[in-house]
Amino acid sequence: MTSTNDHLWLGIDLGTCNSSAAIKRHTGVETIRCNDTVIPLEPFLDNAEGHKNFPSFILFNDDGHIDAIGMAGKEQAHVTPDRVVWGIKRLLGKTFTDLKESGELDRFPFRIRPNRKNGQCLIAVADQRYTPETLCAVVFRKIKTDAEKQTGTSLNSVIVSVPAYFDPLRVSPIVEAARDAGFVHVKTIPEPVAAALAYDIEITKRPRKVLVFDLGAGTLDVTTGFLYRDPSEENEYRFQVVKNTGDTRLGGMDMDDRLVRLIIEKCMLGELSKAGETEVRRHAELAKIRLSSNDTCKLRFSLQGCDHHCTISRAELETALKGGTGDKDLLEAARRQVMAAINEADWRPQDVERLILIGGPTRLPCIRDVLDIVFHANPGVIKQIESFYAGDEQVDRMDAVATGAALSIDRRVDDNVPAGYGFEDLELSNDAMLHQPCVLVPRDSGYPYRSQHHTISWTNGSGLFEFKILQQVPQSEVEQFGYEYKFVGIQKFAVKNPNFCMVAIQMGYNANKELETTFTNILSGESVTYQGVIQSASIGMHYPLTVKRPPDFSRKSLQRVPPGEETLNEFVQWARVTAGYIQRKTDNHPLPNMSIAQMLDELGQLLKNGDAQTRFEGVFTQLHSLVWNANSTGILSQDTYNELSNHLTSFEGQLFKVEDANN
């Protein structure tokens, strides 16, 4: 029987193609080994030879159910590409149309469908559908199980590394997935900070200009930023992202593709079956790893009973990576991304004080050549590159981020969010409506963070407020996208009494980097806090928006038509049933909600009197607010809310009829 240890934190580096994990114990940091039944091919026997412990590959069976996680999935990835899912990290928190328009979906050989519930992605295998969060939780669960087996302790605390450029809306699904996997305490850490801690880079109070070059199996991410120690908090480390660039189609797997072509050409293999191609791919990966330390590599393998052998040199590898006519030059693409990150940060290569290299493919000498070219005028960084390629670092670079994540628990690590958050505010004048962003959380704010309460100057007669939540995109992305603000969703707030309200908004990040928005009616004290947003669309917006009002040509004099007695009786009866239903739901809800209870009491008073019919306007408003608030606080499910809301709308039409007095 294992015991639960709240003091042991598992550090996880969730990668696009490979993940790793480490745990800090009294004796030092211990890497978690994958407890896999599949024995990897020769070069992968040892972690030091180039693979992380947990390939983030999930193998499904013919029915679409999960068969295996890890190396077994990786082995099958090229045999049955439609049944092996990888790269989940890139799908988290993004809408289907966003991914399709950016071309990222073309990268994946398995089927990705839109999620009809929220417009995000679903991974389709046979008849089964999985959300990226579910599969991410599967990978976390596998790591958790293996870590518990290795340590003999039940682990319920995790610190997950996330790319520094992930905004709070993309971090939330990772945190959710970790919770689904059974972790109770979840923290996140930016990957560059984790790497800096692992390599024991001296972190000073003076911000140092750092460039993180993260070349993984699937993608290249280049981040420029400032790494420093908060002067007020001795143990608080911060990484402020200045610019992030990257290529989602540049990684170890793309290099393998080129090597496969080279091997096929050298061995004159012609058309290959899927199984044959897999075999060649294994050897291509082997060649890539061997060529990191040797000038040449001899390959010997058999395909369909025939023996093949060839020798590949570093020069040939380099030529393959550069590609032929019409091919993308992978090395030049990597160089361009590094230069883009430096230029767009408004730095020069000489300004970089520290280069951090992450990922297996960074070992390749041709990658070193790329970095040497970029930093040739920067002796400090050249020295770091020399030391790095001489193998001086104490930590395995494949596990560096996970190790850093595990180490970070003793130190308070914090980073800044390059994006800002706010809502769309409204200003009304006689002939126009001015929509403008009101940024409550400025760019580059650290987390946790709480903004001041911002009181809105306008009100809504119905007491129902709908706020458009906006992201102020990082400064470096303004030119790239052509807009400064992005609509990310709406949040609703209803007040009991629209004549007695003054709404204030407060936004910020919680300790997990998740966005939190609090709405308060200052006059009555009603308040609701949301985590994240109902994110189902991400649309770039230009501000300010001024919408001119149409000319006033009031020809009609409209007047109210009182509702019929039958309608009133029907409405009041329905209101009583609905109030009773919400009362029962509130009573059975695990968390008491005083604001809802108060609203129910007030509605009860209105309905109890014999003159409820004559006070139908008050009953309607009160009921409307109650239904909205009950939904906002989770007492009513979305379906029930929709049903009640529809009923209210149909009653609204009958209760508040108008007609033209001139007719």
Partner 1 sequence: METHLATVHPIDECAITCLAETYLDTGQSHRALECFTTLIDYGTPNPWHYNRRATAHSDLLEFDKAAMDMSHAIALDTDNATYYWLRGGYRLSHEVRAHGRITEDSKPDIISRILHDYKQSLQCDPTRSAAWVNLLEINVILRQWDNAIGHFGACRSYMSRPAFQVIRGFLGCLALALAGDDILPDDSQYLDDTSIVVSPDIYRFGEIEVLLNDLSMEGYDPPRLARAMEVRDRFLEHFDETPNNEY
Q: Which residues bind partner 1 (CB under 8 A)?
A: 95-97, 100, 113-120, 435, 466, 468, 483, 487, 489-490, 534, 536-537, 539-542, 544-548, 550-553, 555, 639, 642, 646, 649-650
> Residue 191: which of 169, 222, 217 has the closest Cα?
222
Shortest separation between residue 465's beta carbon and partner 1, angstroms? 13
Looking at the Cβ atoms of 118 and 613, the one nearer to partner 1 is: 118
* Phi, psi values for residue 514, rounded to 5°: -85, 145
Looking at the Cβ atoms of 350 and 645, the one nearer to partner 1 is: 645
Shortest separation between residue 488's beta carbon and partner 1, angstroms? 9
Shortest separation between residue 545's beta carbon and partner 1, angstroms? 4
Looking at the Cβ atoms of 598 and 654, the one nearer to partner 1 is: 654
> Residue 281: which of 307, 299, 304, 305 has the closest Cα?
299
- Return the H-helix or E-strand segment holding 463: none
Looking at the Cβ atoms of 79 and 434, the one nearer to partner 1 is: 434
Looking at the Cβ atoms of 204 and 649, the one nearer to partner 1 is: 649
Looking at the Cβ atoms of 129 and 141, the one nearer to partner 1 is: 129
Shortest separation between residue 487's beta carbon and partner 1, angstroms? 4
Burial 27-57 (b: 16+ CB within 10 A, else e): eebbbbebebebebbebbeebebbbbbbbbb
Shortest separation between residue 486's beta carbon and partner 1, angstroms? 10
Shortest separation between residue 18's beta carbon and partner 1, angstroms? 29
Strands 208-215 and 354-358: parallel
Shortest separation between residue 308's beta carbon and partner 1, angstroms? 41
Q: What gap in Å lies between CA 400 and CA 22, rounded to an integer?
A: 9
Looking at the Cβ atoms of 41 and 541, the one nearer to partner 1 is: 541
Looking at the Cβ atoms of 121 and 267, the one nearer to partner 1 is: 121
In the block, which residue shows the tokens 């979840």? 186
Shortest separation between residue 1's beta carbon and partner 1, angstroms? 42
Looking at the Cβ atoms of 112 and 607, the one nearer to partner 1 is: 112
Shortest separation between residue 242's beta carbon and partner 1, angstroms? 28
Shortest separation between residue 473's beta carbon and partner 1, angstroms? 14
Tokens of 380: 């400090």
Does residue 411 sit in helix, strand or coil?
coil
Q: What gap in Å lies between CA 510 and CA 32, rounded to an integer?
A: 29
259 CB contacts (<8 Å, ≥6 apart)? 284, 285, 287, 288, 312, 317, 320
Looking at the Cβ atoms of 266 and 647, the one nearer to partner 1 is: 647
Give the total residue count for the chain. 663
Strands 185-190 and 157-162: parallel
Strand partners, 525: none
Shortest separation between residue 554's beta carbon and partner 1, angstroms? 9
Distances 215 to 276, 336, 350, 401, 433 between C-alpha atoms, Å: 27, 14, 22, 13, 48
238 CB contacts (<8 Å, ≥6 apart)? 193, 226, 227, 228, 229, 230, 413, 414, 415, 416, 446
Q: What gap in Å lies between CA 175 and CA 136, rounded to an integer?
A: 10
Q: What gap in Å lies between CA 339 and CA 592, rounded to an integer?
A: 56
Does residue 64 sit in helix, strand or coil?
coil
Shortest separation between residue 95's beta carbon and partner 1, angstroms? 6
Looking at the Cβ atoms of 16 and 631, the one nearer to partner 1 is: 631
Are 420 and 472 in contact by the 8 Å Cβ rule? The answer is: yes
Are 314 and 366 in contact by the 8 Å Cβ rule? The answer is: yes
Looking at the Cβ atoms of 319 and 536, the one nearer to partner 1 is: 536
DSSP summary character for residue 61: -
Shortest separation between residue 259's beta carbon and partner 1, angstroms? 33
Looking at the Cβ atoms of 96 and 213, the one nearer to partner 1 is: 96
How would DSSP label each residue in 580-634? HHHHHHHHHSSS--HHHHHHHHHHHHHHHSTTTTTTHHHHHHHHHHHHHHHHHTT
Looking at the Cβ atoms of 540 and 580, the one nearer to partner 1 is: 540
Shortest separation between residue 577's beta carbon and partner 1, angstroms? 17
Looking at the Cβ atoms of 119 and 323, the one nearer to partner 1 is: 119
* Phi, psi values for residue 200, rounded to 5°: 60, 45
Distances 524 to 216, 492, 496, 520, 582 between C-alpha atoms, Å: 53, 17, 9, 8, 21
> Residue 515: which of 201, 25, 17, 168 has the closest Cα?
168
Shortest separation between residue 516's beta carbon and partner 1, angstroms? 19
In the block, which residue shows the tokens 């009513």? 636
Looking at the Cβ atoms of 539 and 597, the one nearer to partner 1 is: 539
How would DSSP label each residue in 216-273? -SS-EEEEEEEEEE-TTSTTEEEEEEEEEEEETT-SHHHHHHHHHHHHHHHTT--S--
Shortest separation between residue 94's beta carbon and partner 1, angstroms? 11
> Residue 380: which of 402, 400, 352, 356 has the closest Cα?
352
